Structure 1
Amino acid sequence: MSDGRVRPYFTTRGLIPENQETPIHFLRGSIFDKGYWFLRNHFQYPDLTINSGNLLITGAVKKAFIIKLEQLKTLPSKTITVPLICAGNQRAEFRPKVYGEQWEEGAVSQGVWTGVPLKDLLGVSGLEENALEVVFTGADRGTTPNVDEAVLYERSLPMNKALHPDTMVAYEYNGQPIPFKHGYPLRLIVPNWYGMASVKWLQKITVVAQPYEGPFQTDDYVYYPDPHTDEGKSPVTTIRVNSIIQQPLDHSIIDEGAHVIVGLAWSGEGQIEEVEISFDKGNTWEAVTLAQDQTKRYAWTEWQYNWTTPGKGTFTIQTRAKDSDGNVQPEREYWNRKGYGYNAIYRINVKVE
């Protein structure tokens, strides 16, 4: 690159459809450039047309209407910093192993989104008394293992989440039009929920009077705790409290002396209140230093810890985060056969020479 900096590459998890993992361990800062956003797709990219910027709002509403992108931009907007985290992030860590894209820690990114609150658009249409959920349809389509014919990517939100003041129809990312691969021209943004809820290439919003049961609602993005049956299943929704170490890397060799351990923490239930670190396999814990902007209620938390190595040898470093609602990273992950929501205490091993 012309600026002389070394730029890390994505880790390819799939090409058809394209799934690329962000080099999270090498990136610093709270906002990611579009070039470093992870890519998660279920199908190949859609073909956009001149009408792709038209958004239809229909269903159990008093007045269905179509709003064009240019019209949407004239409405009162808001701008919020939101991380998007794939529900399958860290799937590679599950034991026993599970099937699916073997994401490590890099199916996460964060940026600044600008758009119109969904509740304002639904306010224009007016909700019928029997309105129960809101279904969001993207332009991407394809087949799934359980459906032979092509389907569109669709997800629904319960009415209380759809009407949350920060659930928005976004048209800008980091002050620019949303990049095509991340949902241009319109993308739903759902703070605090895993990324599958933030439907890309949004083309239709349908208010329904009955529970939505599409394949990405009732088959995928469901926790199945039993390896063989559907007993105890529950929907994947809110991001679980988590922390990761960005540097040093797992199984790296470092010199004796002073080191700065850095990482990230996030939660969907509340803001990060504390991150602790352990060097004795969890027998004792120490608090790290948090870097937080209290004005950004959804943003992840950067943290660091100054460590002076006690001598040569091998060391296990663990971290755990706690949020303002009292949620703490567990010792072991919540195993489920599709590999969603991994958030066990984070651990790496390093060798000091």
Structure 2
Amino acid sequence: MSSPTKDTRAHSDETDDPIPRIRLLSRRPALSPALDRRDLLKLLAAAPLAAHLAAHLAAPTPAAAAAARPALAAPGIVKPLPPELFTIRGTNAETNFTALRSTGLHTPADHFFVRNHTSTPVLSESDWKLTVWGSGLGGRRPVEFSYGHLRSLPSITRTAVVECAGNGRNFYATQQGETVTGTPWTLGGIGAARWRGVRLRDVLRHAGISSSAVDVMPRGLDDEFISNGVNHGRVRRPLPVGKALDDVILAYEMNGEPLPYDHGYPVRVIVPSWIGLASVKWLGDIEVSETPLSSPWTTEFYRFFGAAYPPGGSAPITRQTIKSALELPLGASLAAGVGHRLTGRAWSAKAPVSHVEISTDGGAHWHRARLCDTPRRDGWVRWTAHWHPRRTGPAELLARTTDRAGNTQPERTVHNTQGYLFDAVVRHPVMVV
């Protein structure tokens, strides 16, 4: 293996995901009938027209399939995508935030958003292996870990939010009147789960990481990403060794069950507080290097470009930001003269949430919401507030989060051309009838 070539080309829109190619899966031995069926699901899911059939095959029982609403078509996603839960955005599926109102603190796998650069690979744990390699192993040969070996190491369970860097991108245009490129996520490119796995630092120490290592780069096993005719290779994103040895885990379970295919089976990376791209799915290898590493996901994508930033762009984006969201459809109709229980969620990647304020008059007045959970690092909290509207007509609801480090959502987010890290207070229109 060799390190990826450093890429200094001008930025482009990395979220213009092409329709994924259907790949033959003949490179590994024949699997059990169940896994062959899953391979078929992958091939079916890679074509939009056949995604309805893929969802039918994935249904747990005929009765459940009959009762469910028709799934939406999304190229390359294996799991069913009922329209009450998801909005399809190219090769991605955004969670409808309203659907989270019926869930607890942890987002169920069937509600969890999907961010794919290409398509979900259907892999077998019996054939899977993790290779750790590179100059940062002090001249040692590459070390391989089987799925069983990884699971035999001491495990840790951690609740963490995974959030796409483009979450909220839609509001640059609709709220701030600014042009950005990329998938127009509203606020559903996020989910919180209970992840179980092994500490990355334990794996690196088993592999013999040297004191001279500076960067660690996980790489996925999904298809190579092609954008505007350029092959960028498989998704990969370097981490400084300090972060890699701190709180990063290699997860093999999500909410007490093996990872679903769309969420990284058999093993994915979880990088708490960082943008979702860093939490590489379908992990295949990790390069450990004595010199700084880069990839298109740190040179061309996932940096800030625009008038407020240097001509060559900012440093690569790492940590996520602060947000809040109402579990209510945009433009919802609410009755006048009766009480309404508003609910939502708040989170910050910089510190635990301190408090959430609500405005029911477009920001003229604010009052505190009640937090329903103990704020914790790397997670979110549910909140609730009461509203008794008396006048009919259009209204704007606002939710504003402040964390324990003193960070508060601003009225406006500084523009960047690719629409990353929108953190302004979202103006949520409703109609009182």
TM-score by length of 2: 0.75
Cα distance, 1:141 vs. partner?
2.8
Q: Which amino acid aligns with 1:270?
A: A
Deviations along 1:297-339, whole A, 9 cap, x unmatched? 3221100101111332332211110111111101101211011
Cα distance, 1:88 vs. partner?
0.6
Report the counterpart of residue 13 of structure 1 in structure 2.
Answer: 89
Q: Percent identity?
A: 34
Q: Which amino acid aligns with 2:332?
A: S
Report the counterpart of residue 39 of structure 1 in structure 2.
Answer: 114
Q: Does 1:66 align with 2:144?
A: yes
Q: 1:346 and 1:288, CA in 2 relative to 1: closer, same or farther beyond 3 A?
A: same
Cα distance, 1:126 vs. partner?
2.9
Deviations along 1:94-120, whole A, 9 cap, x unmatched? 131211111111111121110001111
Cα distance, 1:56 vs. partner?
0.9
Pairing partner for 1:271 from 352, 360, 363: 352
Please give the secondary structure, in 2, of the residue aligned with 1:261: strand
Pairing partner for 1:26 from 81, 99, 104: 99
Q: Which amino acid aligns with 1:153?
A: V
Pairing partner for 1:184 from 255, 261, 265: 265
Q: 1:352 and 1:51 mapped to 2: Cα distance?
A: 57
Q: 2:92 and 2:128 mapped to 1: Cα distance?
A: 25
Q: Please show how residues 114-129 of structure 1 align to structure 2 within 5 Å.
A: 114-129=196-211
Q: Is the 8 A contact 1:263 1:303 kept in 2?
A: yes
Please give the secondary structure, in 1, of the residue aligned with 2:427: strand
Q: Is the 8 A contact 1:225 1:231 kept in 2?
A: no
Deviations along 1:134-182, whole A, 9 cap, x unmatched? 0111112324337734511111111111111x31011111111111111
Cα distance, 1:189 vs. partner?
0.4
Q: 2:382 and 2:228 mapped to 1: Cα distance?
A: 40
Q: Is the 8 A contact 1:131 1:208 kept in 2?
A: yes
Question: Bigger CA drift: 343-352 or 69-78?
Answer: 343-352
Q: Please show how residues 305-324 of structure 1 align to structure 2 within 5 Å.
A: 305-324=385-404
**Over aligned residues, Cα RMSD in angstroms?**
2.3
Q: Please show how residues 67-82 of structure 1 align to structure 2 within 5 Å.
A: 67-82=145-160
Q: Please show how residues 284-303 of structure 1 align to structure 2 within 5 Å.
A: 284-294=365-375, 296-303=376-383
Q: 1:73 and 1:254, CA in 2 relative to 1: closer, same or farther beyond 3 A?
A: same
Q: Please show how residues 156-305 of structure 1 align to structure 2 within 5 Å.
A: 156-164=238-246, 166-226=247-307, 230-247=311-328, 249-256=329-336, 257-294=338-375, 296-305=376-385
Q: 1:144 and 1:302 mapped to 2: Cα distance?
A: 39
Q: How many residues align?
A: 347
Q: Is the 8 A contact 1:275 1:319 kept in 2?
A: yes
Q: Is the 8 A contact 2:126 2:147 kept in 1?
A: no
Q: 1:149 and 1:251, CA in 2 relative to 1: closer, same or farther beyond 3 A?
A: closer
Q: 1:225 and 1:264 mapped to 2: Cα distance?
A: 30
Cα distance, 1:69 vs. partner?
0.7
Q: 1:238 and 1:52, CA in 2 relative to 1: closer, same or farther beyond 3 A?
A: farther
Q: 1:25 and 1:245 mapped to 2: Cα distance?
A: 8
Q: Is the 8 A contact 1:278 1:317 kept in 2?
A: yes
Q: 1:277 and 1:49 mapped to 2: Cα distance?
A: 47
Greater share of helix residues, 1 or 2?
2
Report the counterpart of residue 405 of structure 2 in structure 1.
Answer: 325
Cα distance, 1:43 vs. partner?
1.6
Q: Which amino acid aligns with 1:159?
A: V
Question: Bigger CA drift: 204-213 or 109-118?
Answer: 204-213
Question: Bigger CA drift: 3-12 or 259-268?
Answer: 3-12
Q: Is the 8 A contact 1:114 1:171 kept in 2?
A: yes
Structure 1 segments unaligned to the other structure (5+ residues): none
Please give the secondary structure, in 2, of the residue aligned with 1:71: helix
Q: Is the 8 A contact 1:227 1:337 kept in 2?
A: no
Q: Does 1:90 align with 2:171?
A: no
Structure 2 segments unaligned to the other structure (5+ residues): 1-62, 70-81
Q: Is the 8 A contact 1:141 1:150 kept in 2?
A: no
Q: 2:232 and 2:363 mapped to 1: Cα distance?
A: 49
Please give the secondary structure, in 2, of the residue aligned with 1:155: coil
